[in-house]
């Protein structure tokens, strides 16, 4: 494969930081960007690089929500040893995150060869962008019914079963083009959880899922990453961290007063454009 330049690293870091938490599919956008940069999207080293720079976005999440994470962790450990402490709403939310993180870990590990191989196709990205947009529209309609009845749930009402359902839906995000945040936020609002809480829960679920994926890929493809050069890898991590931090703050403000539909129209437009470009033979799918 071609060497990864510092400019490539900056571009990929920006794309990762912008799209990791927006419901538009970071993997899909990274795959498209890699193709436009002339990188081999099915090269194991490139696949590993995209997973590793996610750690920069995760670091941004840890910093942004540090106090919340500490609060949930304390509540969880206290609840393990005290029946009284289990009445703390933070204990239930912590369990939701723990339980919700398990399915994607299992499926991701078992299907790792397919994910890094057959699914690394721009046709997959185009189709997933379009099909999951339908799911997001349906989720918004279900959410509107909860809202009309005045029964939306906040953070203190999140239960372990919510985490399990959202975690199962999160498995679909292993398909490039679906979007991890698009899957988890859609699942959350479809269960009647208010948008801000569903978005925050999506961030919390991202921490174990993306950290595990990034570290696993780094170990699996350490030789390939070494060939890319430590410099570009570090640049990608730092850029992804800075951009992701800003994206987190913006998205939380956005969902406080807006639906997910603007992202749906963007996804549909990108999916149609990508399918058209591929169908015309202007670029190859892999």
171-182 mean pLDDT: 92
**Using one digit for the tens of pLDDT, what is the confidence trace for 27-58?**
889 988 988 888 877 777 777 788 788 889 99
Whether 10 shows a pLDDT value over 50: the answer reads yes
Query: Vertex 16, ends 51 and 193: CA angle to 5°?
Result: 95
- Determine the straight-line distance between the first and last CA of the chain, rounded to whole angstroms: 13
The set of residues, in sequence order, having a beta carbon less than 8 Å from that of 278 and lying 6+ positions away, is: 122, 123, 126, 284, 285
79-106 mean pLDDT: 92
Nearest alpha carbon to residue 231 among 1, 48, 58, 7: 7
CA–CA distance, 203 with 58 (Å, rounded to integer): 9
199 token code pair: 């978005």
Every domain of the chain and the residues it spans: 6-279
Task: Please say whether the beta carbons of 173 and 183 come within 8 A.
Answer: yes
The pLDDT of residue 1 is 47
The total of other beta-carbon atoms located within 10 Å of residue 110's CB is: 10
Task: Please say whether the beta carbons of 262 and 37 come within 8 A.
Answer: no
CA–CA distance, 41 with 205 (Å, rounded to integer): 26
Whether 160 shows a pLDDT value over 60: the answer reads yes
Report field, pTM of the whole predicted structure over 0.85: yes
**Torsion angle (degrees, nearest 10) of CA 222, 225, 230, 234:** -100
The pLDDT of residue 280 is 92
Whether 2 shows a pLDDT value over 60: the answer reads no
CA–CA distance, 284 with 226 (Å, rounded to integer): 27
Mean pLDDT of the chain, nearest integer: 90
Residue 217's region, left for phi above 0, alpha for psi from -120 to 50, else beta, is alpha
CA–CA distance, 258 with 5 (Å, rounded to integer): 38
149-157 mean pLDDT: 93
The pLDDT of residue 225 is 67
Of 117-121, 248-252, 255-259, 271-275, the one with minimum mean pLDDT is: 117-121
Task: Please say whether the beta carbons of 31 and 125 come within 8 A.
Answer: yes
The set of residues, in sequence order, having a beta carbon less than 8 Å from that of 41 and lying 6+ positions away, is: 31, 34, 35, 47, 120, 122, 286
The pLDDT of residue 221 is 67
**Using one digit for the tens of pLDDT, what is the confidence trace for 208-225?**
888 887 777 777 766 666
Helix (H, G, I), strand (E, B) or coil at 283: coil
193-197 mean pLDDT: 96
């Amino acid at each position: 494969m071609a060497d990864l330049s510092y400019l490539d690293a900056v571009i990929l870091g920006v794309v990762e930081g912008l799209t990791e938490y927006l419901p538009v599919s970071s993997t899909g956008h990274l795959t498209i960007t890699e193709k436009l940069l002339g990188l081999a999207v099915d090269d194991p080293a490139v696949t590993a690089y995209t997973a590793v720079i996610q750690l920069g976005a995760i670091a941004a999440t840890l910093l942004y929500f540090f106090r919340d994470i500490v609060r949930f962790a304390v509540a969880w450990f206290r609840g393990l040893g005290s029946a009284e402490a289990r009445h703390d709403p933070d204990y239930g939310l912590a369990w939701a995150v723990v339980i919700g993180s398990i399915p994607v870990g299992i499926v991701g590990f078992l299907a790792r060869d397919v994910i890094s191989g057959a699914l690394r196709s721009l046709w997959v990205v185009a189709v997933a962008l379009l099909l999951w947009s339908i799911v997001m529209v349906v989720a918004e309609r279900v959410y509107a019914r909860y809202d009309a009845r005045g029964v939306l749930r906040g953070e203190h009402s999140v239960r372990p079963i919510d985490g399990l359902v959202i975690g199962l839906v999160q498995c679909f995000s292993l398909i490039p083009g679906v979007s991890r945040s698009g899957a988890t936020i859609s699942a959350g609002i479809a269960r009647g959880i208010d948008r801000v809480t569903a978005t925050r829960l999506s961030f919390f679920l991202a921490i174990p899922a993306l950290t595990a994926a990034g570290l696993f890929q780094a170990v699996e493809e350490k030789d390939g990453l070494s060939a890319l050069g430590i410099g570009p890898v570090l640049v990608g991590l730092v850029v992804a961290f800075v951009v992701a931090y800003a994206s987190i703050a913006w998205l939380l403000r956005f969902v406080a007063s807006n639906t997910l539909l603007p992202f749906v129209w963007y996804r549909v437009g990108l999916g149609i454009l990508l399918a058209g470009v591929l169908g015309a033979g202007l670029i190859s799918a892999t």
